Chains A and B, each alone.
Chain A
Amino acid sequence: MGIRLTAAILAGKAAYCVSRLGGGKGSSLPGVVALRIYPGILRVLAGQVENGAIVVTGTNGKTTTNNMLARVLESYGNRLVVNREGANLMNGVTAAFLKESSLRGCLNRHWALLEADEAAFPYIAEIVKPRVVIVTNFFRDQLDRYGELDKTVSLIRTTLTKLSSAKLVLNADDPLVAQLADTGLPRVFYGVGVPTGGKEAGGVTREARFCPYCGENLSYRYYHYSQLGAYRCAGCGFVRPRPDVEALGVEVVDGVTRCKLRVGKKVVSVTLPTQGFYNVYNALAVFGAGVQLGIAPGATAGSLTRYVPATGRLQEFIYKGRPVYLNLVKNPAGFNESLNLLCSTREPKDILIALNDNSADGRDVSWIWDVDFERLQERREILRFVCAGRRAAEMALRLKYAGVPVQRIAVSPGFAAGVRQVLEGNGSVVYLLATYTALWPVEKILRRYAKESNVADRLPSLSHSS
């Protein structure tokens, strides 16, 4: 066994080098290779992590939440295993462990921070036996792989009931997540406690219209986005639980998000060096994990201020003095949030949408018809939409039927030509929105022309209050 383990690690590490040399990220291939040689490798490596694993699952926000939490734990001097790049299937998780392992399979790490794809969660959790599980939200995503959302949620529930020693961190604002409290595991709820002006998404992308217990219509006092909000069931009394970690005020100014949070009885202010309302949820989840791990809220706030977004999580670049944002889009809820962001200002802009339909993107692209592109038809400050990727034409079609004038739509299936075209636009800001497998090639091409800017450098200092 020792020889096979070493062989698996060697082969995995070799695969990492080959992948990097070839310009890849080496975030999955090493896992593929090592698991083939020694299928038990993940169990052997995960078993050595001193304090155990923390797993983030759900539809949106996994990568950011995981990386934010890594930042917090590292600030305490912890050495970590993290699948930072969002490779969240069995292969990617295994690759993250391989990277930190010695050739003999020794691992000297305090924590493993893992994001797990919803469908892979049962398998990964069964092996790594997480101490803490964070569940962010459930939206429709890549349905051709999972069947239906209800099935995904029920698989996660079944897995949780088998993890007797896990503690949960649950999004109170999502009824599909909050219901997981009935697994009886110790839990911390987080949520946004004040209306933020979100609209009901026209009954279009809201997933959880009905009470998970009795099937009645859920009624909402307010929405943040999709089904996230203050809900209550008139039928059986199922209601948004009172959060232990709650945002009391949220404000986005000059590309940074400031919020006031209540953690237990303590109130802290936190400044996130990023835009996007959904990042407030990611930060709340991290504070929730902090509660479960006994980390002081002030310390979490301090670490988050210096958070640098991972690839494609609203990563900022500069091209010829203009800001260029790269953001991952993978489902209607997340795409609508990206549209919110680019509609939040009236400055002239150019947009690239890169739509692929490989299996990691979801082979069924019909989800783009659930995104509210109709709101863009009157936005004259969007000068050009460049559609790229394997389904570029489908994307252009969606925009046409949303009412965007066809003269402003360009179809450019190749990424290189698409990126060049959008960068040479006449706007003062550029947004590149890409699905999962389109993200890396787009980023790679973008780096040839544009320089990444470090947002954290121009941040105001952090303030505390209690």
Chain B
Amino acid sequence: MLTVCHLYPTLLNLYGDRGNIIAFVRRCRWRGIPVRVREVNLGETVEFKGIDFLFLGGGSDREQGILTGDLRRHASALAAAIEEGLVILAICGGYQLLGLYYQPLVGPEIPGLGILDLYTRAGTKRLIGNVVIETKLDGEKVRVCGFENHSGQTFLGNIKPLGRVLKGYGNNGRDGFEGARYKNVFCSYLHGPLLPKNPALTDHLIRLALARRGMDCPLSPLDDSIEHLANKVMLNRLGVAKG
């Protein structure tokens, strides 16, 4: 039984983010892998040891302010779980939160959880639009698409990006990187939501979660024609379709 945890679903659920949970759960169930979802809200306790896949979504500034304090209680336990291989997908606000700090346009910097070596600065222009990035999953190049909408510009320290931007802005619109990746943590600015039309990434996360529980076996294939069609529509439109 895999346990999926949606952290602060009422606060961090912008731009259809829950679609990521839906995709992870469906693709497990279609293969007969038992899975359940736990939602953890403000003030509730969470035991990271019992979780296989943790999802951190994005929120509006106000919502993010409310939860940062609450999440700080969990910071050291979360850091330990990450070192031990917990599979995490963090989108947008959730991504920024795992970093060192957020520097607003005015006022002092807001400390993050300080788990990942990256920081975010508020930009004056919102970075909005469809994005395609290229990432490597198990050595294979995959084109991942989504929609970004953020004013924060993120810069990576000693940490790998999730991928290279083919179309769109990515982390900051300057260095050509998108997202971040550390151990089994995947961070990205891509909404859309990210997982449904990028099934290779979803399956990669499922495999990592199973492997962490000692079930290191290939996943049975699914008919992904609608997934690939949805992905291809955007790749074609942005002129970055392969072949």
Q: Which residues of B contact A149 (CB under 8 A)?
A: 60
Q: Are A210 and B66 in contact (CB under 8 A)?
A: yes
Binary per-residue interface labels of chain B (83-112) against chain A in the complex, 1 for a CB within 8 Å, 0 otherwise: 000000000000000000000000000000
State whether B230 touches A393 (Cβ < 8 A).
yes
In the bound complex, do residue A143 and residue B130 qualify as a contact, i.e. CB atoms below 8 Å apart? no
Q: Of B157-165, B180-188, B191-199, B207-215, which stretch is located at the interface?
A: B191-199
Taken residue by residue from 134 to 177, chain A's Cβ proximity to chain B (1 for < 8 Å, 0 otherwise) reads as 00000000011001111000000000000000000000000000
CB of A397 within 8 A of CB of B22, answer no
Q: Is A209 an interface residue (CB 8 A)?
A: yes
Residues of B within 8 A of A144 (CB): 128-129, 147, 149
Contact of A150 among B17, B18, B62, B130 (CB under 8 A): B62
B10 touches A367 (CB 8 A): no
Q: Is B23 an interface residue (CB 8 A)?
A: yes
Q: How many Å from the CB of A113 to the closest CB on chain B?
A: 33
A364 touches B191 (CB 8 A): yes
Within the complex, the shortest CB–CB distance from B120 to chain A, in Å, comes to 17
A287→B16 CA distance, assembly (Å): 35
Q: Is A393 a contact of B60 with CB atoms below 8 Å?
A: no
Interface string of B60-76 (1 = CB under 8 A from A): 11110010000000000
Task: List chain A residues, Cβ under 8 A from B66.
Answer: 210, 215
Q: Which residue of A lies closest to B66 (CB)?
A: A215
Residue total for B at the interface (Cβ-Cβ under 8 A):
35
Check A150–B60 contact: CB distance below 8 A. Answer: yes
Q: Closest residue of chain A to B59, judged by CB?
A: A148
Q: How far is the CA of A364 from the CA of B226 in the complex (A)?
A: 19
Q: Are A143 and B15 in contact (CB under 8 A)?
A: yes
Of the residues B26, B130, B149, B229, contact of A401 by C-beta under 8 Å:
B26
Q: Is the interface of B mostly helix, strand, loop or mixed?
A: mixed
Q: Hey, which chain B residues are within 8 Å of A104, CB to CB?
A: none
Give B15 Cβ to nearest chain A Cβ, in Å. Answer: 4
B216 contact set on A, CB distance < 8 A: none
Interface assignment of A238: CB less than 8 Å from any CB of chain B: no
Contact of B176 with A by CB under 8 A: no
CB of B226 within 8 A of CB of A397, answer yes
CB-CB contacts below 8 Å: A179-210 with B: 203-204, 206, 209-210
**Are the CB atoms of B147 and A366 closer together than 8 Å?**
yes
* Residue B33 CB within 8 A of the other chain: no
Asked if A370 contacts B196 (CB within 8 A), the reply is no
What is the CB-to-nearest-CB distance from B126 to chain A, in angstroms, rounded to a whole number? 7
Chain B residue nearest to A364 (CB atoms) is B147
In the complex, the answer to whether A366 meets B60 with C-beta atoms within 8 Å is no
- Residues in chain A near residue B175, CB distance under 8 A: none
Query: Is the Cβ of B15 less than 8 Å from the Cβ of A401?
Result: no
Give the residues in chain A near B170, CB-CB below 8 Å. Answer: none
Q: Which residues of B contact A398 (CB under 8 A)?
A: 19, 196
Inter-subunit contact A143/B149 (CB<8 Å): yes
Shortest distance from the beta carbon of B8 to any chain A beta carbon, whole Å:
11
Chain B nearest CB, measured from A435 CB (Å) = 15
A451 at the interface (CB under 8 A from B): no
**What are the residues of chain B within 8 A of A11 when measuring CB–CB?**
none
Q: Would you give the 0/1 interface string for A384-417, flagging 1 where the beta carbon is closer than 8 Å to chain B?
A: 0000001101101110111100100101000000
Instruction: Tell yes or no: B179 within 8 A of A by CB.
Output: no
Closest to A406 in B: B226
Do A215 and B62 have beta carbons less than 8 Å apart? yes
- Minimum CB–CB distance from B94 to chain A (whole Å) comes to 15
CB contact under 8 A between A411 and B19, given known A144-B147, A364-B147, A366-B191: no
Residues of chain B with a CB closer than 8 A to A143's CB:
14-15, 149
Task: Name the residue of chain B whose CB is nearest to the CB of A147.
Answer: B126
Q: Closest CB of chain B to A214's CB: distance in Å?
A: 11
Partner of A394, one of B60, B63, B129, B197: B197
- A411 partner residues in chain B, CB cutoff 8 A: 226, 229
Alpha-carbon gap, A400 to B226, bound state (A): 8
Q: Are B62 and A401 in contact (CB under 8 A)?
A: no
Please judge, given known A-B contacts A143-B149, A150-B62, A366-B15, whether A393 and B193 are in contact too, CB under 8 Å.
no
Chain A residues within 8 Å of B230, by CB: 391, 393-394, 396-397
18 sample A-B contacts, Cβ–Cβ < 8 Å, listed by A number: A143-B14, A143-B149, A148-B60, A204-B18, A210-B66, A364-B128, A366-B19, A369-B17, A369-B196, A370-B16, A393-B232, A393-B233, A396-B229, A397-B230, A398-B196, A401-B19, A401-B22, A406-B226
Q: Which 5 residue pairs spanning A and B have beta carbons closest together?
A: A369-B16, A369-B19, A366-B16, A393-B230, A393-B229
Known: A144-B147, A150-B60, A367-B16. 20 other contacts (CB 8 A): A144-B129, A144-B149, A148-B61, A206-B10, A210-B63, A210-B66, A363-B130, A364-B15, A364-B147, A366-B19, A366-B191, A366-B192, A366-B193, A369-B196, A370-B13, A394-B230, A394-B233, A398-B19, A400-B226, A406-B223
